[in-house]
Amino acid sequence: MRIRLVNPNTTWSMTRLIGECARSVAAAGVQVEAVSPSMGPSSIESHYDEALAVPGLLAEIAQGEADGVDGYVVACFGDPGLEAARELARGPVVGIAEAGMRTATYLGRSFSVVTTLGRTTGRAWDLAHAYGVAGACRGIHACEIPVLELETSPDARERITEACREALSRDGSDVIVLGCAGMADLCAHVSEAIGAPVVDGVAAATVAVQGLVTLGLSTSTVGEYASPPPKRYDGLLSGFGLQPGSTDRDRRRTA
Ligand code: 2AL
């Protein structure tokens, strides 16, 4: 089985780190390939970044389809382009916010999210509502460390640990969800330090995709996630137009 983990930002050091975290939970025989787009923002921490990360993400999904990939993880906590990726891919596509929050609901009655910047918390709340788990989400908190400083700031690990401890006690929640792919390597440390389950969405999404592929399940093509209607795209996006029957998904559907 081949799972492609797409970090929709262009920072390869982060892509390598989250690839290692995903590999550490993948079953024997599962190949995890971590990639970043060649175009897009170096980190995603605004609505503008999210919008401009999506074309590069979709180009990676299209490449994955050409390469015969079985399933995908969208490895950014805003789950940018998740639904569009589902319209392109034959195999399942899971976002890390989606997997992180849903996994937390298996582990307690309530959870809190600890993310990077306060300006990303609105998007995280929107996703909690969209995924139907907002009732279990007691709070979404920012540690105010920018994404790229997660790698460089000497006290990032301790600040995030303290933010998780405080979120747990202030919200009275049972579980913490880490709100950035760049926090994936902190999961075990934070869990040990605060004495509660801590969910890293990268690991949770990787295991979810692996499970769905094992079950032979994929995104439905009968309704809203059918392949997009073929049409011309212009300008910088001219390479993104689909031809009739051009995707493997279409071929499978019409076979
Ligand atoms: C993220 C993430 O997971 N990757 C990135 O570049 N930005 N999310 C976040 N809330 O900061």
Model confidence pLDDT, tens digit, residues 2-20: 999 999 999 999 999 999 9
Q: What is the CA radius of gyration of the chain?
A: 18
Query: What does the pLDDT read at residue 217?
Result: 98
Q: Is there a single domain that holds both residue 101 and residue 88?
A: no
Residue 116: pLDDT band with limits 50, 70, 90: very high
Query: What does the pLDDT read at residue 249?
Result: 72
44 close to ligand 1 (CB < 6 Angstrom): yes
Above 90 in pLDDT, residue 105? yes
Q: Is there a single domain that holds both residue 183 and residue 195?
A: yes
Query: Which atom of ligand 1 is nearest the CA belonging to 77?
Result: 3
137 close to ligand 1 (CB < 6 Angstrom): no
180 close to ligand 1 (CB < 6 Angstrom): yes
Beta carbons of 149 and 156 less than 8 angstroms apart: yes
Structural domain for 67, as ranges? 2-96+205-240
Q: Is there a single domain that holds both residue 12 and residue 46?
A: yes
**Digit-coded pLDDT (tens) for 207-220:** 999 999 999 999 99
Q: Is there a single domain that holds both residue 51 and residue 174?
A: no
Residue 245 domain-assigned (yes or no): no
For CA atoms 76, 81, 87, 89, the dihedral sign is negative
Average pLDDT of the segment spanning 211-240 = 95
Identity (one letter) of the amino acid at 194? I
Residue 211 domain-assigned (yes or no): yes
Q: Is there a single domain that holds both residue 119 and residue 183?
A: yes
Above 80 in pLDDT, residue 246? no
How many beta carbons lie within 10 A of that of residue 156, not counting itself? 17
Average pLDDT of the segment spanning 249-255 = 55
Which residue's CA lies nearest to atom 9 of ligand 1?
180
Structure tokens at 119: 């300006």
Query: Rounded to the nearest whole angstrom, what is the distance from the C-alpha of residue 181 to the centroid of ligand 1?
Result: 6
Q: Is there a single domain that holds both residue 102 and residue 193?
A: yes
Residue 255: pLDDT band with limits 50, 70, 90: very low
Query: What does the pLDDT read at residue 254?
Result: 47
Query: Which atom of ligand 1 is nearest the CA belonging to 44?
Result: 6
DSSP β-ladder status, 31-35 and 71-74: unpaired
Q: Is there a single domain that holds both residue 81 and residue 102?
A: no
Residue 248 domain-assigned (yes or no): no
Best probe residue, ligand 1, of 14, 147, 151, 187 (max atoms within 8 Å of C-beta)? 147
User: 84: domain CATH number?
Assistant: 3.40.50.12500
45 close to ligand 1 (CB < 6 Angstrom): yes
Q: Is there a single domain that holds both residue 125 and residue 177?
A: yes
Query: What does the pLDDT read at residue 98?
Result: 98
Q: Is there a single domain that holds both residue 63 and residue 183?
A: no
Which residue's CA lies nearest to atom 5 of ligand 1?
44
Average pLDDT of the segment spanning 91-96 = 98
Residue 245: pLDDT band with limits 50, 70, 90: confident
For CA atoms 33, 37, 42, 43, the dihedral sign is negative
Residue 255 domain-assigned (yes or no): no
116 close to ligand 1 (CB < 6 Angstrom): yes
Domain end: 177, 200, 223, which one? 200
Long-range CB contacts for residues 25-29, cutoff 8 Å, separation at least 24 = 25/203, 25/206, 25/207, 26/206, 26/207, 26/210, 27/210, 29/1
Q: Is there a single domain that holds both residue 89 and residue 210?
A: yes
Above 60 in pLDDT, residue 162? yes
What's the domain count of the chain?
2
Q: Is there a single domain that holds both residue 214 and residue 89?
A: yes
Domain end: 200, 221, 250, which one? 200
Query: Rounded to the nearest whole angstrom, what is the distance from the C-alpha of residue 182 to the centroid of ligand 1?
Result: 7
113 close to ligand 1 (CB < 6 Angstrom): no
Average pLDDT of the segment spanning 152-179 = 97
Best probe residue, ligand 1, of 82, 123, 180, 200 (max atoms within 8 Å of C-beta)? 180
**Digit-coded pLDDT (tens) for 166-194:** 999 999 999 999 999 999 999 999 999 99
Q: Is there a single domain that holds both residue 146 and residue 190?
A: yes
Q: Distance (Å, rounded) from C-alpha 98 to C-alpha 134?
A: 12
Residue 79 domain-assigned (yes or no): yes
Residue 250 domain-assigned (yes or no): no
High-pLDDT (> 70) share of the chain, %: 96
**Digit-coded pLDDT (tens) for 127-137:** 999 999 999 99
